[in-house]
Structure 1
Amino acid sequence: MKKRILIFASLLTLAACKKDLTSLNVDPKNPSSVPSYSLFTEAERLLTNTVTSPSVNLNIFRLIEQQWTETQYLNETQYQISYRKQPDGIWTAFYTNTLQNFEKSKQAMKVDVKDAGTLKNETAIADILQVYSYYYLVTTFGNIPYTQALDITKPFPKYDDAKTVYSALLTRLDADIAALDPGAGSIGGADIIYGGDVTKWKLFANTFKLKMGITIADSDPATAKTTVEAAVAAGVFKSNDDNASFQYVASPPNTNPIWVNLVQSGRHDFVGTSQFIDLLNPNKATQDPRLPYFFAKSASNSIYEGADNGTGDGSLAFSDYSLPGGPLLTPNATGTLTNPDFPALLLDYSETEFNLAEAVARGFAVGGTVESHYVAAISASVSYWTGANPTPAYLAQANVAYATAPGTTPLEKIAGQEYIALYNRGWDAWIVNRKLDYPKLVPPPNAFSDFPVRFTYPISEQNINKPNYDAASSAIGGDLVTTKLFFDIH
């Protein structure tokens, strides 16, 4: 009897061992397949972090646009983009992280999603965000890998002509808009921006189409006109309720990257520039209502004070100047961009109204007047930041009212106020500034180059994809920060 029990126990042990051996082939930390919705959510997060982050290794456009300056390490303020290899960081952030994850999510959707209508919607939404991602690449570098970019069989992709890529993106966006069906299902809660609301995504796509059209208004006015007018006819943002907002959470790891880089890390050497804060607080008297939401008062004298751009060398005390966000970057300070859960914007109503103002100024048939859209744009920005509409007195101030605002042309007046409204969206401020050449930014002392109108290609591309890099550099007129891109012709 005892012998039988031992044999039975041994058989059980062997059976158990056989089952365990099979399970050892599964790595729970590296699954062989990932659900499409997980890939989509991660791609949304990575994309939003990229365009929002203030990291000196990635997104330095608040410094280039002189909304912020540095008090100690001046490399980024002085346009030294090779020191921390920001071009490599941007390239990786978009190609390796964002675009690849959206592409993988689209492929996984073909397996995960059984309903044809839902699949069509989810694929279109992911593709819209790929178009959005490529927009920033092509307006930052010029010619870029596109047709071969996400093909794993092409480890050394060729570069496509920037203007051709842009045209392809507009065609792709139109196809996505046509594919969206509000009557069918979608990705739901995996979409942090709109919760899978297909109607909202259609509105987003048309509003982004308006933006893309306005971007090429100088270089290709005919295409810009037809693109803008078609987008507006189809419907664009009408209020801040339409904003494409990504809501971060209060606890790591999914926190606002501004909080991560400035508060969690204890970094205090980013302060407002005197130029930018003086725009918000002329003569230290007529304060812009957004100022307390953009910056804290200086710790040393309790006033809003900016540092002259690019003058810090380690001798400036950050406590003498206004830091971004709430008082002394206090975590959870109500209403400031340094909150861990402060949301990020990918596209907003204020920017839309500025684009419409510009469209009217250029003679496009979009309705309204330059002034009506200009006022609506400023009002939307103030309302977003403060929670209240601007007062008539504020809108009537000489530096704000359309008739008396700085600038000698309608486009300069628009650009001057859009520069303020695009605070916290430095990448977009840089695009608008290059297109409209306003406001005029004085180079920082000891700048490493002239004002960068593009970023040079990554060092990694120069090393491992040299033939295609060389061809692209030659095609655009040289891999220099001063080489103007296809949309920037003035």
Structure 2
Amino acid sequence: MKRFIYGLTVATSLVFATSCDEKLDELLENPNAVNAQTASPDFLLNRIQLDYKDLWYGISDRGARLTRQINQGSSLYINAYRAVDTNGTWSNGYANLLADIKFLEPLAEASNFQRHLGIAKTIKAMVLFDLVDTYGDVPYLEALDPANFNPKTDSGQTIYTAALALLDEAKGHFTATSAGTPNDYYYNRNYTRWIKLVNTLKLRYYLNTKLVDAAASKAGINALIAENNMLGTTDNFVFLFGTTAADPDSRHPKFAGQYTAGGGDYQSTYYMHHLTVEKGFDDPRVRYYMYRQVLTNTTNVDEQECISQLAPSHYLVGNFPYCNPAGNKGYWGRDHLDPDGIPPDGLKRTAYGVFPAGGRFDNNSGAVVSNPALGAKGAGIHPIMLAAYVDFMLAEAALTLGTTGDPKALLASGITKHINYVRAFSVATSESVAINAIINDTEHARQRDNYVAYVNGKYDAAASADARMNLIGLEYWLALYGNGTESYNLYRRTGKPANMQPGLEANPGPFIRSFLYPNNYMVTNTNAVQKPDNAVQVFWDKNPGSPWIY
């Protein structure tokens, strides 16, 4: 009898314990956590699209500074970007984007959400390109294995090849029979345009890898030209910002950082020199790109110390612009690698304009911009890939690889498309009245055609292929305002524009050919090995080391 009672007690206890464990497991499961049963492919894809514009922006901003489109602070390259400075890019790329895409794919496949898969794989390819272009060799094949906390790196070339294959897969998803209707923040469900983007990204792939395998690049680009289905003038791949200031702030980050209280970034003296001085007349885009808060240069050394100083000797020898562009027109920025502190110039330095930041068009009013109700109120864009860029890339390919097309005609077409796009975007904002009061359609056409004719003349006068490539690179660089990603790749790929303004220090160290691995990767992965310095070149950069570019 005692054995029976004892056995019953033990059995009851085991059942009770098991029941408690099951209940405990249920209680420990976070009801707010997303899992395969509760996840929405729509919401996941929303997050992926938004996270990509943030990843792109961080990479673009660094590229713009390094290539003198906006000011790069710090006197030495080695101090400009430390390992900790790109933690956000790494965590967004891996913990957010690649992880979310991996989570999305089986859910979309199970529901036959082909368009979700097409968008996700296109973005995945862009993320992989961006990570390789930024760091070089990075983890990929082992990166998203939850059982592997120490993934090894794969070669950049291997990852580039995988990304190219993803683009081909994405193309198929955009034409397959599909269920579901995703939110599309870029093309509003126009999948024909997504296919054109895929082809344009393949053009970019072949151009970046032309020094690795010129024959393959030439054949790949010629095939794309024959297909004739890359981005056209109505297919620009951009992220559009809004005007809401909070919950969340939907404005362009450059606008929010400058028009709220003044201050913000310094423009690049060298870039403004090319926009306002170098050709002997103003670039038709400068009033859209930048807004002057003052119309003449300061004479107060407390506001701008460099006006009382002699240019460094290597600036004098190289005849580089120093301190301000010539002409006393109020274009107020800083030289490359200027590490100075911040004087009381926040309401005087040249600000971002209507394109692409959604600020003010420069109508000679010379007023301060410390008011978020000014200009287009932040409704700018990230110009991630434009139709104009296609023509510049094709011009480079035609000149350097001998692909189909006339480099001069493609260059002129790229310039024309870009000047037209800058105006078309800008006059569609709340700045249209201010714009048309200064530049109406007739004046716009006159300025554009005059500019193109000038560049055509320079191309005809160029005495060598290198000089012609420098002109293509220079004009592409001037069209890439707001897109430092492509400007940084262009500079490493071609060395153009040549003879860039150097740093203020005579020897600022080697140019950043790739970034150090971020701190959050180095301290969490036992297989991580830091680079010796930031002069390590990515796999497709087969050009000479520093000071080939500087």
Q: Would you say same fold, with TM above 0.5?
A: yes
**Which of 460, 472, 481 in structure 2 is aligned with 1:403?**
460
CA distance in 2, matches of 1:410, 1:365: 16
Name 2:216's counterpart in structure 1.
Answer: 223
CA offset digits 1:331-355 (Å, max 9, x no partner): 35446xxx42212222111111111
User: What one-letter code is carried by the residue in structure 2 that aligns with 1:321?
Assistant: R
Name 2:522's counterpart in structure 1.
Answer: 462
Shift of the 203–168 alpha-carbon distance from structure 1 to 2, 3 Å rule, reads same
Shift of the 267–61 alpha-carbon distance from structure 1 to 2, 3 Å rule, reads farther
Compute the displacement of 1:444 (Å): 1.8
CA offset digits 1:61-106 (Å, max 9, x no partner): 2211111116xxx349855244582232221121122222222222
Name 2:227's counterpart in structure 1.
Answer: 234
Shift of the 148–376 alpha-carbon distance from structure 1 to 2, 3 Å rule, reads same
- Counterparts of residues 367-378 of structure 1 (less than 5 Å): 368-378=405-415
CA offset digits 1:381-424 (Å, max 9, x no partner): 11121126553212122598533579843322211111111110
RMSD: 3.1
User: What one-letter code is carried by the residue in structure 2 that aligns with 1:50?
Assistant: L
CA offset digits 1:205-261 (Å, max 9, x no partner): 011101111111122212212222223333333533111122222214233222333
Name 1:245's counterpart in structure 2.
Answer: 238
1:96 paired with 2:84, answer no
Shift of the 213–187 alpha-carbon distance from structure 1 to 2, 3 Å rule, reads farther
Q: Is the 8 A contact 2:77 2:511 kept in 1?
A: no
Name 1:304's counterpart in structure 2.
Answer: 331
CA offset digits 1:328-382 (Å, max 9, x no partner): 44535446xxx4221222211111111111121134443x310111011111111
1:362 paired with 2:400, answer yes
**Which of 124, 131, 135 in structure 2 is aligned with 1:137?**
131
**Which of 30, 50, 66 in structure 2 is aligned with 1:64?**
66
CA distance in 1, matches of 2:27, 2:140: 40
Shift of the 303–167 alpha-carbon distance from structure 1 to 2, 3 Å rule, reads same
CA distance in 2, matches of 1:479, 1:131: 28
CA offset digits 1:91-150 (Å, max 9, x no partner): 112112222222222233245x3xx3xx23321221111001110101111111111122
- Identity between Structure 1 and Structure 2 (%): 20
CA distance in 1, matches of 2:86, 2:532: 12
Q: Is the 8 A contact 1:456 1:481 kept in 2?
A: yes
Q: Compute the TM-score of the two structures, normalised by the length of structure 2.
A: 0.74
Secondary structure at 1:321 match in 2: coil
Count of aligned pairs between the two proteins? 446
Secondary structure at 2:492 match in 1: helix
Secondary structure at 1:245 match in 2: strand
Compute the displacement of 1:486 (Å): 1.2
Name 1:323's counterpart in structure 2.
Answer: 351
Name which one, 1 or 2, has greater alpha-carbon Rg.
2
Secondary structure at 1:181 match in 2: coil
Name 1:155's counterpart in structure 2.
Answer: 149
Shift of the 285–318 alpha-carbon distance from structure 1 to 2, 3 Å rule, reads farther
User: What one-letter code is carried by the residue in structure 1 that aligns with 2:228?
Assistant: G
Q: Compute the TM-score of the two structures, normalised by the length of structure 1.
A: 0.82
Q: Is the 8 A contact 2:238 2:381 kept in 1?
A: yes
**Unpaired segments of 5 or more residues in structure 2?**
1-25, 297-328, 354-358, 361-367, 425-443, 544-550
CA distance in 2, matches of 1:76, 1:213: 35
Name 1:174's counterpart in structure 2.
Answer: 168
Bigger Cα displacement from structure 2, 209-218 vs 28-37: 28-37
Name 1:125's counterpart in structure 2.
Answer: 119
1:212 paired with 2:201, answer no
Shift of the 332–64 alpha-carbon distance from structure 1 to 2, 3 Å rule, reads farther
Name 2:493's counterpart in structure 1.
Answer: 435
Q: Is the 8 A contact 2:233 2:387 kept in 1?
A: yes
- Counterparts of residues 233-312 of structure 1 (less than 5 Å): 233-251=226-244, 252=246, 253=248, 254-264=250-260, 266=261, 268-282=263-277, 286-299=281-294, 301=296, 303-311=330-338
Q: Is the 8 A contact 1:193 1:246 kept in 2?
A: yes
Secondary structure at 1:395 match in 2: helix
Shift of the 75–105 alpha-carbon distance from structure 1 to 2, 3 Å rule, reads farther
User: What one-letter code is carried by the residue in structure 2 that aligns with 1:64?
Assistant: L
Bigger Cα displacement from structure 2, 174-183 vs 208-217: 174-183
CA distance in 2, matches of 1:320, 1:399: 36
Q: Is the 8 A contact 1:298 1:319 kept in 2?
A: yes
